Amino acid sequence: MKEQFEIEFVIKSSPSLLYQYLFTPSGLSEWFADNVNSRSDKYEFFWDDSSEEALLIKNKTNEFVRYQWQNDEDDFEKYHFEIRIQVDEITKDVSLIVSDFADEDEVEESKMFWENQISNLKQVLGSA
């Protein structure tokens, strides 16, 4: 059984630009994986010598994307990762909220993975 966790990152970018980096294969290739291909709602992410497939299961332009890894685990349908763009109504600060699942003993490692990936995104955006 995996547990869900959430992590928030303040990021200096417009929601529309940010969304392109979360949704398009070319945008995802710049920060999330070495390369990304997509056909319809199926995305294939490549890192070094490995690849993973994910299905885009839900999205709303300039607001969020939700992907579900397509792996061999029996209960993979239960788990997804979601990246939401949140804009503070008063300050107009933009945050990314990442929701993901990990085995209990891998939550900290998964959070570090997201911190590294979002750090890459901030560099690409010039928001670091």
What pLDDT is recorded for position 77? 72
- Spatial separation of the C-alpha atoms in residues 125 and 128, rounded to whole Å: 8
**Residue whose C-alpha is closest to residue 2's, from 100, 72, 82, 71:** 100
Average pLDDT for 121-127: 92
Which structure tokens are listed for 79? 């788990």
Q: What is the pLDDT of residues 14-69, one digit of tens each?
A: 999 999 999 999 999 999 999 999 999 999 999 999 999 999 999 999 999 999 98
Asked if CATH classification 3.30.530.20 holds for the domain at 2-123, the reply, yes or no, is yes
Which residue would you say has higher pLDDT here, 1 or 76?
1
